[in-house]
Amino acid sequence: MTDKKMETQTPIQTQNPVIITPPPPEVPLLSKEGPSEVKPHHHITSWVALVIIATIAATTGYLLWAKSQEAWPFDFDGPWSEVKRIGSQSETAGWNICKNEAYGFEVKYPPNWKVWRVGAPEASVSSCEVGLRTAGFSPNLLELSLETIQQINVDVDSETVKTIEDYRAKHPEFFYFNEITRESTIDGQKLYWFGERLAITFYDGKMFRFSMIQNIDESTLNLFFSTFKFIKQTPKVNASNWNEYYYEDQFEIRYPTDFRFIDADDSGTYHNNFFPNDGIVMGTILFPDQKGTNLSSASISMARYDGYLTAEDCKLYRNVDKISKMTETETVEYEFYKATITGAAAGTKVTQYIYRLYNSNCFEISLDIRVGNIANYETGTVNEVDEDTILDQFKSILSTVGII
């Protein structure tokens, strides 16, 4: 039994051995019972894990980036482009808000800064609620020296200019001495830079001019711009062809071409001035005659107080010999203090609407309506005047008032 087993294991030798080429290795097939017969590939598993981790990291990074963009509406690539875009809501949460609805913008400014009326005779503390055409933002203009002053001015030109091309066509002289050095955006509008300290943009038919006085802190400026928003205004009366009255670059008003402006020196016109004392009449605008009605006259008088008044002082008005205080307000582009006086004289009803506008200086615009008693006219010769129509015309004129 043993000899036979040894015999079967002995290889057969030949004189000339034949070299046999081994067949190619068989590729193992997955059995229907599962992959347990195939050896695991640990390196493939590692690569899959790395791909998953990289995908998660990329997705997380994108979501964080997208979230940060929600808090940065200002695309600023000006001279401070190296400053990181850190204009998040949290960094300006404690800042004051300037909402200038009269000229269509809103912006935040640091809590230790103030809003200034910039212009003649000198800068003075103000507020955005009164509607400044030129608003300055600064810690304190009256105490800082020129070497340390910080100031950002926002100036709104109400002239109808929609694009940089319109502005170039209307004011070619500006471009003789200034050229655009770069462009960026602010609240979705293109911002044109002229050097490092002046930039302009256009929105809703108006031009917005930004001027930066020396020593502005770069990060503060970036945050200031990041909070700037335009306010879409409701369409106003089309006063582009109306006449204009200006007072020393401080006050402006427009009125229809069929109305007449009477200078304050004209003694033949009744000018109203409701200041308790020292008020100065600037002029009066007369409504056109309304023939066939019982309207005796309708006029708008404008007055000012040149001395210093507080906001509370600006509310005081004279009603015959009595001094009263305005308790009402009404917003017609600006927020006005308001009072109404009614009376009668020689069979004529007199209604006077007094509007005061305070911006360090105190300006008064008053409407005077005098209506005759219809019973004093021959029957059928005149109609009752519509006083509401006169009041609506006055409000349209009032909406054109601007203080600088």
Lowest-confidence segment of 33-47, 313-327, 350-364, 387-401 by average pLDDT: 33-47
Whole-angstrom distance, CA of residue 263 vs CA of residue 257: 16
pLDDT at residue number 146: 63
| Whole-number average pLDDT of the chain | 78
Of 171 and 76, the structure prediction assigns the larger pLDDT to 171
Out of 281-290, 377-386, 394-403, give the one with best mean pLDDT. Answer: 281-290
Beta carbons of 158 and 404 less than 8 angstroms apart: no
Q: State pLDDT tens for residues 128-174.
A: 766 678 888 988 766 656 667 788 999 888 666 789 998 998 889 99
pLDDT above 70: residue 374: yes
Q: Which range has the worst mean pLDDT, 113-122, 154-163, 225-234?
A: 113-122
Amino acid 59: pLDDT: 60
Cα–Cα distance, 252 to 246 (Å, whole number): 4
Does 83 or 243 have the greater pLDDT score? 243
Position 17 scores a pLDDT of 43
Confidence of residue 214 (pLDDT cuts 50, 70, 90): low
* CA neighbor of 252 nearest in space, from 101, 403, 100, 399: 403
Q: Is 187 left (phi over 0), alpha (psi -120 to 50) or beta?
A: left
DSSP per-residue letters across 191-251: EEESSSSEEEEEETTEEEEEEEESS--HHHHHHHHHT-EE-PPPPPP--TTSEEEEETTTE
**pLDDT, tens only, 277-305:** 888 999 999 999 998 999 999 999 999 98
pLDDT in the model for residue 159: 66
How far apart CA 349 and CA 341 sit, in angstroms, is: 11
Average pLDDT, integer, range 231-251:
82
pLDDT of residue 180: 95
List of domains in the chain = 89-230 (3.40.1000.10), 243-403 (2.60.120.1690)
**Average pLDDT of 302-317?**
87
Give the whole-angstrom CA distance, residue 134 versus residue 2: 119
The helix or strand, by DSSP H or E, that contains position 177, with its residue range, turns out to be helix 172-177
Average pLDDT rounded to a whole number, residues 66-71:
41
The partner residues of 167 in beta bridges, in order of sequence, read: none
Between CA 300 and CA 74 the distance in angstroms is 44
Residue 91 has pLDDT above 90, yes or no: no
Q: Are the CB atoms for 149 and 138 separated by under 8 Å? A: yes
Is the pLDDT at 72 greater than 70? The verdict is: no
Token pair in block for residue 129: 């609620």
| pLDDT average, residue stretch 205-221 | 83
pLDDT band with cut points at 50, 70 and 90 for residue 66: very low
Task: Tell me the pLDDT band of 20, cut-offs 50, 70 and 90.
Answer: very low
pLDDT at residue 21, rounded to an integer? 43
- Res. 220: pLDDT tops 90: no
With beta carbons less than 8 A apart as the criterion, state whether 207 and 200 touch: yes
Is the pLDDT at 80 greater than 50? The verdict is no
The mean pLDDT of 47-76, rounded to a whole number, is 52
Assign 11 to helix, strand or coil: coil
**CA distance to 82, 89, 125, per residue, from 86 (Å):** 11, 9, 29
pLDDT, average across residues 17-38: 44
Name every residue whose Cβ is closer than 8 Å to that of residue 115 and which is 6 or more positions away in sequence: 98, 109, 125, 126, 127, 128, 132, 135, 136, 137
Could you give the CA distance from residue 321 to residue 318 in angstroms, rounded to a whole number? 7
More confident residue, 158 or 80: 158
pLDDT of 70 above 60: no
Structure confidence at residue 57 (pLDDT): 59
134-145 pLDDT, tens digit per residue, is 888 988 766 656
- How would residue 108 be classed by pLDDT, with cut points 50, 70 and 90? very high
Least confidently predicted of 3-12, 276-285, 387-396: 3-12
